Amino acid sequence: MADARTAARKEILTLSPYVPGKPADEVKRELGLERVIKLASNENPLGPSPKAVERVKGMALQSHVYPDAAGFRLKSKLSARYGVSMDQIVLGNGSDEVIMFLGEVFVGPGDESVMPAPSFPVYKTAALLMGGKPVEVSTTSDGFLDLEKMVASITPRTKLFVLCNPNNPTGAMVDRKGSEYVMKNVPPHVLVVVDEAYAEYVEDPEYGEVLPYLEQGRNVAILHTFSKIYGLAGLRVGFGLMPAYAAALLNRVRLSFNQNAIAQEAAIAALDDQGHVLRSRGVNNQGKEFLSRSFASMGFKVYPTWGNFIMIDTGKDCLMLFQALLKRGIIVRPTAAWGIMTALRITIGTQEENEVLAEALKEAIKEV
Ligand SMILES: *Cc1c(COP(=O)(O)O)cnc(C)c1O
């Protein structure tokens, strides 16, 4: 039977479906396990703020009412917190939606988007969907962004210059000098996009956050999410801070009700609970130290990290090691999808989860 298959845009055929972390329930079902520890998607092991949970319950009664399309309450909160005006904020159904908006607005057929590799896969999707060309620049052997090479890859066709800071999956950060270098050397026809999904975990005074450049009126878009330290991944809340002209353009492609009402209110409550953020960062710092030490003592290459995850290279086939850990009830992220065949990205969990993981890894590695 004839169908409309051949009518699909050719760009669609260049996309590969996103491979998410394996859900814990699926593993329980498939392997008949009672307890499964998921350290695959960089979720907050402490869960959401209890205050956000209370707000979600209260909002359920308002489920028949459309969300505020302008997101006034959340934007006011973010405007005060980041010192930007409300017309510089774009709300997204997760920050990955904002990445897609950036592609839709700025990238046309044949246009280029410079990005690190390995990194968050949505940057590539956003370019490919529009017929653009992702220009991927390899990170250094320790997983740091090669900023000089990235800048050298800019051409007259470049529309977006994407940094992920800290970088997922390697964990490395861009420091102040790095950000300054980028802001000084990227030409004005290119929008610098900095994904700061893990910024709240960074305590290093050398962290090169780019908000000051936005405040100076520079051409930079900053992405943030409530999915990581705020523990609201299931609700889908993210946002971008950018020059007002860019926000106005993105709002043309944004659907009115892209961010749901419950998510908006939960995000506000989560912002008000900085105690939860502090505790989450504390648990992460402790776990980072414990796991880095454990992994190094097992003889693995440990990539330096500023996020809530650690990439390690074990020298063993990562898909087999992934399966061996799965059998033991632990889900991690093999890096095969990034073309790295011997590494794992492991989310830092609670102390107890980290200890279970470390023991399981010692056993699993003997099997592969
Ligand atoms: C998790 C993540 C995001 C966004 O997540 P959303 O859930 O879509 O808000 C964005 N960038 C990076 C690098 C991430 O790791």
Is residue 165 in contact with ligand 1, taking CB distance under 6 Å? no
> Nearest residue CA, atom 2 of ligand 1?
197
Mutational pocket test of ligand 1: of 41, 96, 198, 229, the residue with most ligand atoms within 8 Å of the beta carbon: 96
Is residue 309 in contact with ligand 1, taking CB distance under 6 Å? no
> Model-level pTM?
0.96
**pLDDT, tens digit (0-9, with 9 covering 90-100), for 48-85:** 999 999 999 999 999 999 999 999 999 999 999 999 99
- Looking at residues 88-107, what average pLDDT do you find? 98
Neighbours of 5 (CB within 10 A): 6
Instruction: With cut-offs at 50, 70 and 90, classify the pLDDT of residue 89.
Output: very high
Helix axes 95-106, 244-253, angle to 10 degrees: 100
Among residues of the chain, what percentage have pLDDT more than 70?
Answer: 100
pLDDT score of 2 more than 90: no
Is residue 112 in contact with ligand 1, taking CB distance under 6 Å? no
pLDDT score of 1 more than 80: no
> Nearest residue CA, atom 9 of ligand 1?
94
- Looking at residues 329-333, what average pLDDT do you find? 97
- State in Å, rounded, how far the first CA of the chain is from the last one: 47
Of 304, 307, 316, 228, nearest in space to 270 by CA: 228
CATH placement of domain 19-47+275-367: 3.90.1150.10
pLDDT score of 6 more than 90: no
- Looking at residues 126-151, what average pLDDT do you find? 98
Structural domain spans, the chain: 19-47+275-367, 50-271
Is residue 225 in contact with ligand 1, taking CB distance under 6 Å? yes
**pLDDT, tens digit (0-9, with 9 covering 90-100), for 19-42:** 777 888 888 898 889 999 999 999
Among residues of the chain, what percentage have pLDDT more than 90?
Answer: 93
Distances (CA, A) of 155 to 109, 123, 150, 202: 15, 18, 11, 32
Is residue 134 in contact with ligand 1, taking CB distance under 6 Å? no
- Ligand 1 geometric centre to CA of 41 (Å): 9
What is the C-alpha to C-alpha distance for residues 117 and 167, in angstroms, rounded to an integer? Answer: 9
- Ligand 1 geometric centre to CA of 223 (Å): 9
Task: Determine contact, residues 55/265, Cβ cutoff 8 Å.
Answer: yes
Mean pLDDT rounded to a whole number for the chain: 96
Is residue 96 in contact with ligand 1, taking CB distance under 6 Å? yes
**pLDDT, tens digit (0-9, with 9 covering 90-100), for 163-221:** 999 999 999 999 999 999 999 999 999 999 999 999 999 999 999 999 999 999 999 99
Instruction: With cut-offs at 50, 70 and 90, classify the pLDDT of residue 18.
Output: confident
Mutational pocket test of ligand 1: of 42, 43, 115, 120, the residue with most ligand atoms within 8 Å of the beta carbon: 120
Is residue 308 in contact with ligand 1, taking CB distance under 6 Å? no
- Cis peptide upstream of residue 166 (ω within 30 degrees of 0): yes
**pLDDT, tens digit (0-9, with 9 covering 90-100), for 349-359:** 999 999 999 99
- Ligand 1 geometric centre to CA of 263 (Å): 16
Nearest atom, ligand 1, residue 96 CA: 8
- Ligand 1 geometric centre to CA of 221 (Å): 15
Task: Determine contact, residues 330/360, Cβ cutoff 8 Å.
Answer: yes
Kindly indicate whether the domain formed by 50-271 is annotated with CATH number 3.60.20.10: no
